[in-house]
């Protein structure tokens, strides 16, 4: 059992802290958002994440997990201090490291030689060389004689399946220039069966940016192939299957759609572009990854305009507000961007999402969108249906009911999540990404 503190109790901090407690460590989660901490202390979970609530409840009850605003006490009582605060993008695409700097300064002032050895672990996604700056801060602002090392331990969890990703990761990456700190990390991760990749500090930081950018590149690649498929009358799902069975390529992250969104890929691709440029080694390939991602939504809307002509005053239903399935997170959601664009063109939009109705409404503040409680009332009076998020429950919808409710028999699937046969059997025209339009069967 190790004594751990996690500074920043958001998606990453809360799920990581909970999973560390689940494998037997004693974890104190710290946040400076009083409302969040009080809610967690009262057993209210601030995010929608499958399996998380149950694990929090059982680990709090077992005395292994607690929540506080008192960073001083957490630092005093913990051997290892994880930093999991936001690293949002700035206007120029660079990463805002002020949260990391601020926590590093606070920790530096709190640790004393009497506390003994402390390891500071960066879990936030940061540009290469951030860890060495954190070490400088610790050396500059701590009292003399403190014994401290810095580690980079990037996180690869996906929202919507964060608990499973944390408890069963593909690999664990830890980077440090201190052998002693790496030994501490081995002990923390000893209960996990995943292979551990041990690197120097800078390489671990780079692995995170490079991994996210590579996944974003896979998505933009298949979306480019989808555009060719549309022009050639081929089927991108068949192409993805055919190339994905090559073990060197793999089928994962070859789902064509409206493009990637979320709080990570857009900012991390930008962040990697920026730091590479600063280092004089531009990652020019990533500019095209971004361009393709931007074009995806524009191409999709053009196809709808081709059919409907002017979108002003058209009643349009959109299923999906979250940036992906199994989450209520709408940060950089492509579906929200789509709805805003439809509204800007004068369309009358209604929307439904299984989990993101509240967060979606907040993101659409100022836009006149009717967010409904169930998927079918969203369709009342609508001329066409657009799928913006890949929720599995959309594929299980009753398309005869959909067909009865829609004024025109038109379904545009921006995530290739529906079964075309079910849609067309209900008398609906089915448009998707990178595949031929399927006409109604009856
Ligand atoms: P988040 O916004 O959900 O949570 C961050 C938390 O930090 C918030 O609760 C905030 O109140 C708190 N905080 C900010 N400043 C603080 C301070 N000085 N002291 C204490 N708490 C403070 O962010 P997130 O999604 O958890 O992301 C955190 C980092 O992890 C980012 O660098 C992100 O890129 C990275 N990451 C995110 C994911 C993901 O799926 N969300 C996955 C892997 C990595
Ligand atoms: C992503 C990575 O998958 C995680 O490994 C990483 O830890 C995380 O970013 C992060 O650094 O924060 P996440 O953003 O939660 O995780 O979700 P993904 O499942 O990767 O989806 C991201 C976006 O890509 C979504 O908008 C999704 O719809 C889209 N996507 C994903 C596609 O369009 N096609 C695909 O094949 C896969």
Mean pLDDT of 250-254: 98
What atom in ligand 1 is closest to the CA of residue 268? 34
Ligand 2 atom 28: residue of nearest CA: 324
Helix intervals (H) in 121-167: 130-141, 162-167
Mean pLDDT of 302-331: 97
Q: Give every strand in the sheet of 65-68, ordered side by side.
A: 65-68, 26-30, 3-7, 80-83, 118-122, 148-152, 172-175, 196-199
Cα torsion for 106, 112, 117, 119, to the nearest 10°?
0
Asked if 211 and 189 touch (Cβ cutoff 8 Å), the reply is no
Ligand 2 centre distance from Cα of residue 307 (Å): 31
Domain with CATH 3.40.50.720 in the chain: 3-199, 201-442
Q: Is 28 in the pocket of ligand 1 (CB under 6 A)?
A: no
**8-state DSSP, 248:** T
Burial class, 57, CB count within 10 angstroms (exposed 0-12 / middle 13-18 / buried 19+): middle
**What CATH number does the domain located at 3-199 have?**
3.40.50.720
SS3 per-residue string spanning 79-122: CEEEECCCCCECCCCCECCHHHHHHHHHHHHHCCHHHCCEEEEE
Q: How many CB atoms lie within 10 A of CB 441?
A: 11
Ligand 1 centre distance from Cα of residue 207 (Å): 19
Question: Which pLDDT tens digit goes with each residue over 104-131?
Answer: 999 999 999 999 999 999 999 999 999 9
Q: What percent of the chain has pLDDT over 70?
A: 100
Residue 442 has pLDDT above 80, yes or no: no
Residue 317 pairs with which residues in a beta bridge?
Answer: 350, 385
Q: What percent of the chain has pLDDT over 90?
A: 99
Asked if 212 and 125 touch (Cβ cutoff 8 Å), the reply is yes
What atom in ligand 1 is closest to the CA of residue 156? 43
As annotated, the active-site residues are 264
Is residue 238 within a helix (H) or strand (E), and if so which, with residue range? Answer: helix 236-244
Cα–Cα distance, 154 to 122 (Å, whole number): 7
Q: What is the pLDDT of residue 137?
A: 96
Q: What is the pLDDT of residue 350?
A: 98
Ligand 1 atom 22: residue of nearest CA: 8
Q: Is 219 in the pocket of ligand 2 (CB under 6 A)?
A: yes
Q: What is the pLDDT of residue 154?
A: 98
Q: What is the pLDDT of residue 228?
A: 98
SS3 per-residue string spanning 41-84: HCCCCCCCCCCHHHHHHHHHHCCCEEEECCHHHHHHHCCEEEEC
93 pLDDT band (50/70/90 cuts)? very high
Average pLDDT, the chain: 97
186 pLDDT band (50/70/90 cuts)? very high
Which numbered ligand comes closest to the C-alpha of 271? 1
Q: What is the pLDDT of residue 121?
A: 98
Mean pLDDT of 228-235: 98
CATH 3.30.70.20 applies to domain 201-442? no
Cα–Cα distance, 377 to 381 (Å, whole number): 9
SS3 per-residue string spanning 166-182: HHCCCCEEEECCCHHHH
Q: Is the pTM of this model over 0.85?
A: yes
Would you state the structure tokens that stand for residue 199, as one six-digit string?
A: 């690197």
Residue 319 pairs with which residues in a beta bridge?
Answer: 352, 387
Q: What is the pLDDT of residue 260?
A: 98
DSSP labels, 211-229 = HHHHHHHHHHHHHHHHHHH
Mean pLDDT of 399-409: 97
Question: 151-189 burial, b if ≥16 CB within 10 A, otherwise e?
Answer: bbbbbbbebbbbbebbbebeebbbbbbbeebbebbeebb
Mean pLDDT of 269-273: 98
Asked if 159 and 131 touch (Cβ cutoff 8 Å), the reply is no
427 pLDDT band (50/70/90 cuts)? very high
């Amino acid at each position: 059992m190790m004594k751990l503190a996690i500074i920043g109790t958001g998606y990453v901090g809360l799920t990581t802290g909970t999973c560390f407690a689940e494998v037997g460590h004693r974890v104190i989660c710290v946040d400076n958002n009083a409302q969040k901490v009080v809610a967690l202390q009262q057993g209210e979970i601030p995010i929608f994440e499958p399996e998380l609530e149950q694990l929090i409840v059982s680990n709090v009850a077992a005395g292994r997990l607690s929540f506080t605003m008192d960073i001083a006490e957490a630092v005093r009582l913990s051997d290892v201090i994880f930093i999991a605060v936001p690293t949002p993008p700035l206007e120029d695409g660079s990463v805002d490291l002020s949260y990391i700097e601020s926590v590093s300064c606070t920790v530096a002032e709190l640790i004393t030689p009497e506390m003994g050895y402390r390891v500071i672990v960066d879990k936030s996604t940061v540009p290469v060389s951030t860890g060495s700056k954190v070490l400088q801060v610790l050396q500059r602002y701590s009292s003399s004689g403190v014994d401290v090392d810095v580690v980079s331990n990037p996180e690869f969890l996906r929202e919507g399946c964060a608990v499973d990703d944390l408890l069963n990761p593909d690999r664990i990456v830890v980077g440090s220039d201190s052998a002693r700190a790496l030994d501490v990390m081995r002990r923390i991760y000893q209960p996990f069966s995943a292979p551990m990749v041990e690197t120097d500090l800078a390489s671990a930081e780079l692995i995170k940016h490079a991994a996210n950018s590579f996944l974003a590149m896979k998505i933009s690649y298949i979306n480019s192939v989808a555009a060719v498929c549309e022009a050639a009358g081929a089927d991108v799902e068949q192409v993805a299957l055919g190339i994905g069975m090559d073990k060197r390529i793999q089928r994962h992250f070859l789902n064509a759609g409206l493009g990637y969104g979320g709080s990570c890929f857009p900012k991390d691709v930008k962040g990697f572009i920026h730091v590479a440029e600063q280092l004089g080694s531009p990652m020019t390939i990533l500019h095209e990854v971004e361009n393709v991602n931007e074009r995806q939504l524009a191409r999709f809307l053009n196809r709808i305009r081709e059919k409907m002509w002017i979108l002003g005053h058209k009643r349009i239903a959109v299923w999906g507000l979250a940036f992906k399935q199994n989450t209520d997170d709408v940060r950089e959601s492509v579906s929200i961007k789509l709805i805003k664009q439809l509204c800007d063109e004068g369309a009358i939009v209604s929307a439904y999402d299984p989990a993101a109705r509240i967060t979606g409404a907040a993101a659409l503040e100022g836009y006149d969108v009717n967010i409904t409680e169930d998927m079918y009332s969203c369709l009342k009076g609508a001329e066409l249906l657009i799928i913006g998020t890949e929720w599995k429950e959309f594929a299980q919808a009753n398309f005869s009911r959909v067909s009865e409710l829609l004024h025109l028999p038109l379904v545009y699937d921006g995530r290739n999540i529906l079964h075309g046969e079910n849609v067309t059997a209900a008398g609906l025209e089915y448009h998707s990404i990178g595949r031929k339009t399927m006409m109604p069967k009856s």
